[in-house]
Every structure is written in structure tokens, then in C-alpha cells.
A and B are shown apart, each in its own frame.
Chain A
């Protein structure tokens, strides 16, 4: 079970090089946080491809409605008719695209992979507080993935009520014709919830208890702050989602009526419970990317992060505010106008800490000696994309405007600028820490080409969606040509689709770079980026137990770049400094 204290771990690590772990214990049922991190990475990348392919199929249908999707003529009826996507399947596509992207791609990579890999290394611990629980967390996550994918193969097809699964659509098979698909969707999310919960317990306990000597709270790298707050948000949000999912499952399988109005249930209750989880969830997705960006921007500007404490505090306040804004998803679901105004105000307040973060990133760049490496380019892209997504968010927060743009492509544009923009944080993280994870460098040229193409096609795909939305193009529709007023916009839909395909194709470059570098990349030095944080003091890749005989000792904050009087332009956290250095800056 879960009771390995720091002391036991230290003793364990001292023994580690005596015992040889077999293949299974090293690569499959590993309790080593670094191996678990890598496992989450590959799980997440696989699912990112699946989710991306589902998006491509939707874009085909929207660009060239009711024509056969190239290469898909093998798909059996009634899912597809000689490659043509019927309405029911379109509903399944956007539901599963979003579910897979959120729960099985972005979360496993940003939280599962980087949370596991970075937390012990960056705080100077030998492993997580509960290594066995950690292994369990990955394998329950993997089981959830299998259950989720199994839903594609059951009669009736996979869930088709949107990733928000609004009742009554989701609560009874009579509305969508989906039976076991939606059940498996529910079960899988309950299982992945347990997996994330195990992760959160580990992350919170580890960060509080296992920090190395001298690693005070305000010497933690911002990416660790972001993961800490993310873990707390998950801890507060997931159990409520689990309760709601259990009720929905009971409605479907036991015949209860929590959300079915026919038997005396309350569909609005689902929306409240779901968004109580759902809004914090978007911060769960975006906070780690913000943390990654802060670290990457500081390293490659060769400057301390601007306003370290303000950065940490703004993440805390974003975390706090995310609990009192969920109603902004329900302005049009029937809500007391006074309550609506309260949700509108609280939502707008979130713009304040978000703006603080943005200006601090800009302040970090200001006057720095900027190095445009692949991780840096992706980090910069994340900032700019986040600004666009944040600004379009303010439009929707104000109820009068939202009434006009609700459920249009303006929303689709907005949330892709925020949640799909996270992939830039993801690419920044992978390219930045790849040398530490796998001991080899990724190819910079290939990385830059991939970045440029992704950045261009991302904007060409998602920016025009704003125009579609303002012109009234509804989201979640199967065939825009069925609406006369949308027919003149078809050219723009086709433009978006072509851009989306090119965006998808560009990702091949990333996968090629990743696979090639895994085996043939240049061997990485211990600290290739000349960064300060602790993980760069361990070998690349770090051995089991991370630190050899002695745990590292931390002497100052993580962002001491270009410190006057220091010869190098960086000062690792493990290097004592003669000049008085204030903690954290």
C-alpha cells in the first residue's frame, strides 16, 4: 500500500544499484516516477493521434458534406455508408474527439507525464511519496483508455451526446440510439477519475513533504507550483464528477431518474454538477502549460522570471476563482438573471490574474537575450495563442454578447485557442525536457520546421472560425449546407478543413523527430540548456533514485539568470552563491 516515507526511500535508493529489476518491473509495472512519466507520455501521444484523426474526419464532413471520406470506405454500416458520415456518427465524432483529447491526451501528457517526471526531480526527491500508488495510477488510466476505445466497437456506436453529456440526451438510449457506448464512456471516466485522484494524492503529498533541504515554497519552479495547484483542483473537482457520473450511469442502467424529467428528475442538476467540475477542468488543462511556459521563457531569455511571487499568486487566485464561475456555461439554460450577473462578474475577474501572467511573461522577455530554440518558440506561441483565447473569452463572459454567440463556431474558435493552444505548451515541454527524459537531444531544425508549420496552420484553422461564428454558424452541426444562410460560407469551411489537414500532416514531423531522436539523437549533456532548476543537476537520463548517494541541497530560487557578479549567465539552484541572494526573487 502507500507508506514509503522519505527515510525508507533513501535506504531503498541506496540499495537500488545492488538489485537488478527484471524487464517487467523496469518497463511495464515500474514504480519509478520517470518510467511512469514516459508511459503516460506514450499513452497520451497515441491518444492525441486518435483524437486528431477524429477531428480530421469531422473537418472532411464540414468541408465536403456527405461525400465519402478518402480511405474510409472500409468502415462498416451503420457507422459509415461507403465512407459517408451519417449524422449519428458525426455526433459520435465530436463527442469522442473532445473526450479523448481532454482526458486521454492533454491530461496524461501535461499532468501524468510531466507531473510524474518533473516533481521529484525538480524538488530534489528520490521518487514520489507513494510509488506503488503511482504505478496503480498509470495502469488504471490505461484500463480506462481501453474501456474508452472499446466503446467504438459496441453496437449502437460510441457516446454521441457531446463531451458535456447533457441530460436527458445522455440519460436514456432512446434519444441517441447509443446504449453501451455511453455506458462505457461513463465507466471509463469514473476509472480515469480514480487514476487522476491517485495522481493528485501523490503530487500534493510529495510536494509538501519530500522537498530537498533548502527547497522552500518560494524557491519552487513555477511549473511545480502549477502542478501543485492543478492537483488540488483535480482533488476538489473529480469526486463531484464521479458522483454525477454514477447518477447518470444509474439512470441508464438501473432505471433511476436523477436527470430524466419524465420520471421526476432534474436535467439542470447534471449541468450544475458537470460544470462545477468542468470549469476547473479547463484550468487543470491550462495551468501546467502555463507553468511550463514560465520555466521555458525564463531559461531562454536568460533572465529571472518577472514577478515570481505574482506568478505563483495569480495561479492560486485562478485556482480559487475557478470554483465560482461555472454558471457562465449555463447563461442560456434557464438561470435567475441576478445569478447570471454574479457569474458574469466572477468570470470577468479571472481575466485579472490571467492578464498578470501575460504581462509578467512579456516582462520576462523584455531586455532578455532571447534564444529562439524549439521549446522557446513553442512557449512564445503558447503565450500569444492564450492571449487570443483569453480575449475571446471575455466576449462570452458578458451575458448579452453570449446570447448572440452561444453555441456557434465563435465558441469553437475560443476554446480551441485555449485548450488546443495547450499543445504548444505540450510541444515546449516535450522538446525542453526530452534530453533529460531520454538522454538524447531532439533535432532542432526539424523541430523548428514543425513549429512554424503548426503555428501557421493552427491559426489558419481556428481563426476563421470566429467569423463563421459571428455569421451564425452553429456548432455541433452535421451538414452546414442544409441551412441556406450558411451556404455562402462553405468556401470558408473548406479553407478551414484544408488548413486542418495540413495542421494534422505537420504533426508527422513531430512524431518522426521524436522517434528518430529516441534512438539516433545526439547524446545529451547533463545541462544542455544551461538551466538552473534541480533536474538539470541529475544525469541525463537520471538513474533509479535520481541523486546517487546524497540528496541535492538548494541554495536559492530557480530563476537566477544573468546574476551580476556571476561569471556564467546562470546559477544552478545547487550552487551556493557568495553574494546575498534573496529567495525566489
Chain B
């Protein structure tokens, strides 16, 4: 093409990926607001935190951490296979990731109901206010991720993805990693505070 005087080229980023990254950035800020609250409360209510965190079940929390780490691995493998044009491993990996997402939510459900059975509610103490809100909002993100992954799986069965067309899978995977990373911070901050 002809270049008119004073007209220059400049680099383009991949549009969709950029959109996803901006969205993830806003998610970091959302959790940032919650983590800031956590920091304030922890410095204000040292004893509460030291006492209440013992009520949490470290084993279940640790299992859930492993579950989410595995799910991150499987979704990453899924992206890697579709990048090479392989659709069957993509479906498998997406299926495994969805399953692990469900396992996480089920374990969370048992944790919550265990707390309620012991008479522990969001209004029990400032620690539990923070605990229920942060894990609750995180849980909603897991749920959202499971829904998005299921849509990807559905589209994968429709044969929508290929080695040149996988940006939606990639975006969903990025989101899933973020959900994972948030949990990696939540677990020590809530379950292991000394």
C-alpha cells in the first residue's frame, strides 16, 4: 500500500487478548479492595484473627488448593493442545478442569455447612465477616469460571476451535488462572494466619 506523507505505521496488539487482560486487571483491583480490608482488620483485631482462624479446616483448605492448582494445569494443557490444533485433548482438559472446579465448590459447600453447624456465621466475628465475604466472592468467581469453561467445552464439541482460532479458550484459561492465584493468596492469609 502507498504511504501518504506524514503517515506512519504503529504496532497493534492482539485486540481480544488485550480486552481480557484489562478485565483481569480490574478483577485484581476488586480483590485488592478486599485484601486491603483484610489488612486493616488484621491489624485492628489481632486477637480475633489469631483465635478464629483455628476454626478453619486446614486440611480441606489444602486439598482445595491442590484441586485448583491441578485445574490450572489442566486448562493450560488444553490451551497448549489447541494451539497445536488438537481438539480431542482440548475437550478432555476442559472436562477435567470443569470437574475440578466442581470438586472445589463441593468442598467449599461442606466447609460452609460445617461452620454453620458449629454456630459460626458471617456475623460471629470480624474474622468470619472477612472469611465468608472473601471466600464467597471467590466462590462466585469459580462458579462463573465453570460456566465459561462449560461454554468453551460446548463450542469445542461444535468444532469451533482450531490452531488459528482459540483466543476464547485462551482468555477463559487466563481468567481461570487468576481465580487460582487469588485462592493461593486466600489460603495462607485465612487458614494459616499466625
Contact = CB atoms under 8 A, between A and B. Distances in A.
A503 interface: no
A554 B29 contact: no
B37 A247 contact: yes
A257 B126 contact: yes
Nearest to A204: B22
Given A205-B22, A213-B7, A214-B7, A258 B167 contact: no
B141 interface: no
Q: Which range contains the number of B residues in contact with the other chain?
A: 35 or more
Given A254-B123, A257-B126, A554-B7, A242 B18 contact: no
B41 interface: yes
A239 B33 contact: yes
Contacts of A142: none
B187 interface: no
A511 interface: no
Interface stretch (B76-84, B106-114, B129-137, B177-185): B129-137
Interface in B28-84: 29-34, 36-37, 40-41, 44-45, 48
B15 interface: yes
A197 B20 CA distance: 12
Interface stretch (A35-43, A259-267, A334-342, A380-388): A259-267
Nearest to A212: B7
Given A208-B18, A246-B137, A266-B44, A555 B122 contact: no
Instruction: With a 10 A CB-CB cut-off, give which of B9, B25, B126 has the most chain A CB atoms.
Output: B126
A205 B133 contact: no
B179 to A, nearest CB: 15
B30 A239 contact: yes
B15 A129 contact: yes
B181 to A, nearest CB: 16
Contact of A216 (B8, B27, B40, B132): B8
A273 interface: yes
B38 to A, nearest CB: 11
Contact of A243 (B34, B48, B132, B167): B34
B86 interface: no
A197 B132 contact: no
Contacts of A554: 7
A543 B187 CA distance: 53
A284 to B, nearest CB: 15
Given A216-B10, A254-B123, A264-B126, A239 B32 contact: yes
Given A209-B12, A264-B45, A581-B6, A201 B22 contact: yes
Given A239-B30, A243-B30, A265 B4 contact: no
B112 to A, nearest CB: 12
A266 B125 contact: no
Interface stretch (A2-10, A313-321, A361-369, A479-487): A2-10
B27 A239 contact: yes
Contacts of B33: 239-244, 273
A241 B16 CA distance: 26
Interface in B111-157: 121-123, 125-126, 129-130, 132-133, 137
Interface string A524-560: 0000000000000000000000000000011110000
Nearest to B27: A239
B123 A247 contact: no
B19 interface: yes
A47 interface: no
A250 interface: yes
Contacts of B19: 2, 129-130, 133, 201-202, 205
Given A258-B129, A263-B123, A581-B6, A209 B30 contact: no
B13 A209 contact: yes
A128 to B, nearest CB: 10
A238 interface: yes
Interface of B: 4-10, 12-16, 18-20, 22-23, 25-27, 29-34, 36-37, 40-41, 44-45, 48, 121-123, 125-126, 129-130, 132-133, 137, 167-168, 171
Given A5-B16, A214-B4, 13 more contacts: A3-B168, A4-B15, A201-B22, A209-B12, A240-B29, A240-B32, A242-B30, A247-B34, A247-B37, A254-B132, A256-B132, A553-B7, A554-B7
22 contacts: A1-B168, A3-B171, A5-B14, A129-B15, A200-B26, A201-B23, A201-B26, A205-B22, A209-B18, A239-B33, A242-B33, A246-B133, A246-B137, A254-B123, A254-B132, A255-B122, A258-B130, A258-B133, A263-B123, A273-B33, A273-B36, A576-B4
Interface of A: 1-6, 129-130, 133, 197, 200-202, 204-205, 208-211, 213-214, 216, 235-236, 238-244, 246-247, 250, 254-258, 263-266, 269, 273, 553-556, 576, 581, 583
